[in-house]
Amino acid sequence: MAMPLETGGVLRDRYRIKQFISRGGMGSIYLAEDLRLEGRLCAVKEVRLDLSLSDETLEQTRTQFLREATVLARLDHANLPKVSDFFSEEHSDYLVMDYIPGEDLRSLMLEARQQGEFLPEQEVLSWAGQIAGALSYMHGQDPPILHRDIKPSNLKLTPNGVVKLVDFGLVKILAAQEDTITIVQGRGTALYTPLEQYGGDTGHTDVRSDVYAFGATLYHLLSNSAPIEARERFLNPGVMPALRALNPDLSPRTERAVNWALNLHPEERPQSIQAFQQALLGQIEPKARVNGRLPTPTFADVISSQTERSLVWVAGALLLLSFIATIGH
């Protein structure tokens, strides 16, 4: 395992590491002091290259990082941390962003659960409005930018009540003809990952993939219960509890909107973040659901669908075959 950066060490003669913040599958984040701008704190994300890769692949990976970091540095939105710098040193790439103070929404949810309470619905929906604004902004770029790792721990509530969508570790840019470039490869966090994203960068993901993760995040925040992984839902229809069964005080409208976003098939979800937000606000009505339960498609449903749906079928079929093979052993 690679050694963490040392406290007090300086990167690029500018960023003094103050402390380690967190580590994920795609890299580590540190709190740092900007020596050129007195008093400014920033978050430095370090992504270490896999030295087992060929020189050609390493060069391509670094080129992709620099290209995509350039795009991220151009983003300017109140609910996104500003990327102020990026560079590479030896076997690591670095992304420098605003340091966002405050607690993440996962911590706030856990605090409420420990007290036997739920986060207030209207407060969560207020946060959702801010998150939707950030995602709509990202999706509206040319080409669109996907976050691909939306989850409660990647949402921070600042002391002045602003929610920030942080950690660009899995950001994906949709280029022409669906060629893509990605800072780091990965599938996101399984609990919030749609079925089509299980193929990593080989899977067909678009803005509706972020819709699913957003819906799964709201399910968790509103129910104090983690959503069931998409692959488990595919193999075991009906396994995920209805939202209002977990939190009866929620409005039916919120439950219907979240259910809509949690469809396994991309074409049966809201087709944009704006549509999902409108459903949460009651401005449009989601598709009808049987007995209010979460949609759980069968193989017949998948096979009878059109071309786009076949991508999800392939992912699901492979998961089923893997499951059968495991039982056989």
pLDDT in tens, 53-73: 888 888 888 887 887 788 888
Under CATH, what is the fold of the domain 10-98? Phosphorylase Kinase; domain 1 (3.30.200)
- Location of each CATH 3.30.200.20 domain in the chain: 10-98
pTM, entire model: 0.80
- Location of each CATH 1.10.510.10 domain in the chain: 103-322
Give the architecture-level CATH label for domain 103-322.
Orthogonal Bundle (1.10)
Q: How far does Cα 122 stand from its chain's mean position?
A: 22
Q: Is the peptide bond before 266 cis (omega within 30 degrees of 0)?
A: no
Confidence of residue 167 (pLDDT cuts 50, 70, 90): confident
pLDDT tens readout for residues 305-319: 444 445 455 555 555
DSSP string, 17-53: EEEEEEEETTEEEEEEEESSSTT-EEEEEEEE--TTS
- Judge whether residue 250 has pLDDT over 50: yes
Q: What is the Cα–Cα distance from 110 to 318, expressed in whole angstroms? A: 35
CA distances from 90 to 35, 93, 214, 328 (A): 21, 8, 36, 46
pLDDT tens readout for residues 133-146: 999 999 999 888 88
Mean of the pLDDT values across residues 290-294? 41
φ and ψ at residue 87, rounded to 5 degrees: -165, 170
- Which residue numbers are catalytic? 149
Confidence of residue 174 (pLDDT cuts 50, 70, 90): low
Query: What token pair was written down for 140?
Result: 């509206």
Write down the residue that tokens 């540190």 correspond to: 30
- Judge whether residue 24 has pLDDT over 90: no
Instruction: Average the pLDDT over each of 149-153, 195-199, 214-218, 291-295 and give the range with the smallest value.
Output: 291-295
Q: What is the Cα–Cα distance from 293 to 314, expressed in whole angstroms? A: 25
Q: Could you tell me what percent of the chain has a pLDDT over 90?
A: 56
- Judge whether residue 168 has pLDDT over 50: yes
pLDDT tens readout for residues 203-241: 578 999 999 999 999 999 999 999 999 999 999 989 999
CA distances from 324 to 53, 139, 235, 314, 329 (A): 32, 38, 11, 15, 9
